[in-house]
Amino acid sequence: TCKVNFPDPNKLHYFQLTVIPDEGYYQGGKFQFETEVPDAYNMVPPKVKCLTRIWHPNITETGEICL
């Protein structure tokens, strides 16, 4: 299950995503991410940060996504 929240309706390039897995290792967890899509998007990737403290090989201790 995913939910999207736009804290400022005038800034559609910045939003928060809440993910609640229905199955797998993280089932029952609630994970929040913030996403900022830059003006130069398509040439510059979006910035995504995990706001929920989690151990995952692609997420640093401070929440940066490493892909």
Active site residues: 66
CA-based nearest residue to 35, from 65, 2, 59, 62: 65
Is the CB of residue 65 less than 8 Å from the CB of residue 59?
A: yes
CA distance 20 to 43: 30
